[in-house]
Amino acid sequence: MGDFWVFGYGSLLWRPGFAHVETKRARLHGYRRALCVYSFVHRGTRERPGLVLGLDRGGSCVGLAFRVPGELRDEVIAYLRERELVTSVYLERTLKVRLDGGGTVDAVAYIVDRDHEQYAGAIDAAHAAAVVRGAVGRSGNNEDYVFSTLEHLEALGIRDHWLEEVARGIAPL
């Protein structure tokens, strides 16, 4: 089986955690990056949820596409499922992404399940900042997650104005 692609838009940007042979900036149409998932494990708890990113319907999202050797498919998919599907709030899909420089590839991506109890829906930046502030899960504190995402987006030349507004609400400049 041939190589395949994985689309990253959040923590996969800075910590993919799997072997890959190429990384390209890419755009996914039809979904946007949003802090729309209440985190009960990685960045919060059931008693004190945090918020993590999901791909929610509408707009588009610029992220990274990782090309993975075909012989690693089973290993990488198992890793991603363990990481992303811990509470089944995401749905695994293969979606078309447009690579910078041209070309379209099919990429594995994890979109939010809007029917899941952890789906936060569309919330404003002030409310998101209040949820994020002080939340901690097994992968660390929620503020670090938001700031790290923004740092990596900035390094890639990607602006996310709404996420920047959330960050200002967490730690006003």
> Exactly one of 47, 82, 84, 151 is catalytic; which is it?
84
**118 closest CA partner among 165, 56, 61:** 56
3-class SS string, 15-75: CCCCCCCEEEEEEEEEEEEEEEEEECCCCCCCCCCEEEEEEEEEEEEEEEEEEECHHHHHH
18: DSSP letter: S
119: DSSP letter: B
Does an H or E element contain 83, and which? helix 73-84
**104 closest CA partner among 28, 18, 17:** 28
| Annotation says 164 is catalytic | no
By annotation, the residues acting in catalysis are 84
